[in-house]
Structure 1
């Protein structure tokens, strides 16, 4: 192995992942942005693309092979998510079902639970949503009030969740509830898999400005009764089990934002090459070229950090992965917001027309600064954990 090869493998992806990206990009390109937005505006779903991804083996690529997955890691599923978004078909449930839920169940579930839920996550027939956020508990997960109490051998869940993606497409939801510790009396987080057709489980859609087939919901849990086999991991697993899904969530959110940024930048560059004013393409002017060059650099830097975060996560280095995942998510969200804004500006008045479909990306890119963790909380995290500054909240 030459020194150049060693350097390339340190800072770039493997040939296998590069090929994975090519194949996913090729598949997604056969659908494209127009297909995606047409489905959204018609009130239809992107099920056709979802199932084709599953059939090709990409949907569960991070899940163990014995459960129908590809045996890869978070870096692989993040690559799939990014390429879909770069082709104009961002699938938010990629962040939730295989990455968060698949990771948590794969790491903490029993053999029976893995066999019960992971194959469906992989083949697309058992998509799983994730429910942690509540109306009065967003960033502060310690403040959630959804409760789980024992009733004989069963558990009874009461509470509500908000901003839950894709409940109408999910078979189950991984719900974060709180139980009282019998030894200490303190409340502890416990994870439950709740079927969406369970008695007492209801969901209401939330109106959104984002153009997407995937919807957001408020979920109500009114005395939802579950058996003991609904608990994922240990009742006493605490935050370790919960945070096992949050590092992948941030990495996937970064991948989602990076794909969005690449799509917007690609559209802007193509327009800047084609649109001519005063006898030459507008891309020849530094007022157009320099902002687009800045976006390219921002995307490349964020992608490198996300690759680092994924590598640390796949290596089981949760604490180091936490810092890298938060930074990657922050950087990718900034890159997405800048790229979309610059794409609109590059198109001029055409940038806010329905014909070009660029302005519709503004809300989606802006959301990447808010969810799944706000840019301010990432800054708090870095200030406290990376720099050792006093806690500010």
Structure 2
């Protein structure tokens, strides 16, 4: 019997390793200072986005026949992780390429794929994703945004909140509910809505941390849509929705893990060079070294979960991908909070300076414990689906 060496079994394919190196090198040309300056001044990281698109990095998960790289979620999550590790994370990759690209690529008609996927792959067309509502929260069954048939088209009415990057997008994939003609009950349906559609109002949400991507509340006041705005099968329901949520969690993990790598690298560099006592760097002291080592262990655990979740998704195992995507997102949110906190503490007072940027990152990392799903809901999921415990909510 032929056995695979352990090192090879846990190593990513050489092609992906080279992809990681190329993305890190490109993102490093922009880096944290570029992103921070854009965030502070209300600018957009358009140059970085376009450069990543020109190199083919944004569409690695989209089929070759639709202008992408023909890879999978493992490749796309690697791109986002490396960009974040270089100090230049791109939140819209989670939304446009991972969620919207995956849903359209899997369930869209051939016409829809031809219309949207090539430009999503190149970065020329950005699509936001709108599911969250103020009165629904984590319970997507309480969504009240509705789509009503009107002749050959639809009329959309309702509102969404905490929607990322609407001002950078040309379209929004909106999760709504439509009446089932047979039962009369409401079922989830997905529609692509142009961001300049009549009847769509956008209001920005003020955040306490700086980021180039803004958050928005959306109001759909009888927005009229053509028949082909409906993505996929009207009766597919939750299957189509969850096709985008597993990639969202995997990419959320990649975003947080990349942020952790950036923060840890900054802290380790400082611990190696900062000297206070007896001409020794502070990294020689266990009070500094041990927390950093602990973060390193937690980070590697989180990255393994992320890679396994992506591998399961790419293999078509939706059930397994859902389980590990949730666990990966949980682990990554935890380590991001720990890594940024310890990085600030390692630097002392200078860790809170605007120039270093770690304090802003500390607040941003906290979002990984909340969105796109809270850690408590993930624990509910694991308790119920992984451990077989009774449903608690």
* 1:62 partnered with 2:61: yes
Q: Which runs of 4+ in 1 moved over 6 A?
A: none
> Which stretch shows the higher mean deviation, 115-124 or 46-55?
115-124
Rounded to whole Å, the distance in 1 between the matches of 2:18 and 2:44 is 28
Q: CA offset at residue 184 of structure 1?
A: 1.5
Kindly state the Cα deviation for residue 8 of structure 1 after the two structures are TM-superposed: 2.8
Q: Secondary structure at the match of 2:391?
A: coil
Secondary structure of 2:369's counterpart equals coil
2:263 aligned partner? 264
Greater shift in the superposed pair: 208-217 or 108-117: 208-217
The equivalent of 2:130 in structure 1 is 131
Check if 1:77 corresponds to 2:71. no
| Cα deviation digits, residues 309-348 of structure 1 (max 9, x gap) | 0000001100111000000000011110000000011001
Q: Does 1:337 pair with 2:323?
A: no
In 1, Cα distance between the equivalents of 2:109 and 2:189? 15
- Where does the alignment leave 5 or more consecutive residues of structure 1 unmatched? none
What residue number does 2:204 align with?
A: 205
Whole-angstrom CA distance in 2 between matches of 1:135 and 1:300: 35
User: Matches of 2:75 and 2:152 in 1, distance apart?
Assistant: 39
Give runs of aligned pairs for residues 72-151 of structure 1, distance below 5 A: 72-151=71-150
Q: Which residue of 1 aligns with 2:42?
A: 43
In structure 2, the residue matched to 1:16 is 15
Aligned-residue offset at 1:293:
0.3
Query: What is residue 159 of structure 1 aligned with on the other side?
Result: 158
* Paired residue secondary structure (1:31): helix
SS at match of 2:359: coil
Change (3 A) 1:2 1:365: farther
Counterpart in the other structure of 1:319: 319
Q: Distance in 2 between matches of 1:232 and 1:258?
A: 31
Q: Which residue of 2 aligns with 1:362?
A: 362
Once the 2 structures are TM-superposed, how far is the Cα of residue 211 of structure 1 from its aligned partner? 1.7
Instruction: Give the superposition deviation at 1:90.
Output: 1.1
CA distance in structure 2 between the aligned counterparts of 1:269 and 1:211, rounded to whole angstroms: 24
1:143-180 deviations in Å (ceiling 9; x for gaps): 00000000111100000000000000001000000011
Alpha-carbon deviation of 1:137? Answer: 1.0
**Unaligned regions of 5+ residues in structure 2, if any?**
none
2:350 is matched with 350
Q: CA deviation at 1:6?
A: 4.0
Offset at residue 185 of structure 1 (A): 1.8
Report the secondary structure of 1:71's partner residue.
coil
Is 1:302 the equivalent of 2:302? yes
Whether 1:255 and 2:283 are equivalent positions in the alignment is no
Q: 1:349 to 1:75 in 2, by over 3 A?
A: same
Shift of 1:210: 2.2
**TM-score, normalised with respect to structure 2:** 0.98
How many Å separate the matches in 1 of 2:353 and 2:209? Answer: 16
1:243-264 deviation line (CA, Å, top 9, x unaligned): 0000000000000000000000
Which secondary structure state, in structure 2, belongs to the residue aligned with residue 156 of structure 1? Answer: strand
Counterparts of 1:181 and 1:137 in 2: how far apart (Å)? 21
1:271-305: CA deviation from partner (whole Å, max 9, x where unpaired): 00010011210000000000000000001001001
For residues 217 and 46 of structure 2, the distance between their equivalents in structure 1, rounded to whole angstroms, comes to 22
Query: Alpha carbon RMSD of aligned pairs, Å?
Result: 1.1
CA apart distance, 1:120: 1.3
Aligned-pair CA distance for 1:104: 0.2
The answer for the alignment partner of 2:371 in structure 1 is: 371
Matched position secondary structure for 1:100: helix
Q: How many residues align?
A: 392
1:224 aligned residue: 223
Name the counterpart of 2:383.
Answer: 383
- Deviation of 1:12 after TM superposition, in Å, equals 2.1
Q: Distance in 2 between matches of 1:31 and 1:2?
A: 46
Q: Tell me the SS of whatever aligns to 1:390.
A: coil
Q: Measure how far apart 1:350 and its partner are.
A: 0.9
Q: Secondary structure at the match of 1:13?
A: coil
The 3-state SS of whatever aligns with 2:358 is coil
> Alpha-carbon deviation of 1:2?
7.8
The 1:211–1:2 alpha-carbon spacing in structure 2 relative to 1, beyond 3 Å, is farther
The equivalent of 1:275 in structure 2 is 274
Q: Any idea what the Cα deviations from partners look like across 1:123-155, whole Å, max 9, x if unmatched?
A: 111100000001111210000000000011110
d(CA) in 1 for partners of 2:227, 2:5: 49
Q: Quick check: 1:290 aligned with 2:312?
A: no
Question: In structure 2, the residue corresponding to 1:213 is in which secondary structure?
Answer: coil
